[in-house]
Amino acid sequence: MAAALLDHHAAGRVTVRSAGSAPAESINPAVREVMGELGLDLSKEFPKPLTTEAVQAADVVITMGCGDACPVFPGKRYLDWQLDDPAGRGVDDVRPIRDDIDRRVRALLAELVPTA
């Protein structure tokens, strides 16, 4: 959700990558639905494994509780967002998680690309 939201709000101003330390086999249907409510189509998206190369290429790395599974490199900016896991939850439970992520994404984007 974070990657789709950031990509949407950034409108090409930042490059967004998404990966997980233990990616699921598919995207949670409730996540697809709540993102669709915002007009964001995740039908072509799929969970991807986190790679060392992706972390090395990033300016900011957002983690969501991956702990020791995430590679750490000196000089990178890391933010660990403590969020409820949407796995196994329905739409009504996923919607507030999406909204929390959206607020965080918008704040991060404001830091990365300040408006004049």
Per-residue pLDDT tens over the stretch 61-83: 898 877 667 778 888 898 989 99
Measure the CA–CA gap between 96 and 52, rounded to whole angstroms: 31
Measure the CA–CA gap between 46 and 54, rounded to whole angstroms: 16
E-assigned strand segments in 55-94? 60-63, 77-80
- Cα-Cα-Cα-Cα torsion 90, 92, 98, 104, nearest 10 degrees, comes to -130
Q: What pLDDT does residue 63 have?
A: 86
- Tokens 């507030």 correspond to 96
Q: What pLDDT does residue 76 have?
A: 87
Contact 71, 52 (CB under 8 A): yes
C-alpha closest to that of 25 among 101, 87, 95: 87
Q: What pLDDT does residue 67 have?
A: 66
Q: Which helix (H) or strand (E) holds 103?
A: helix 91-112
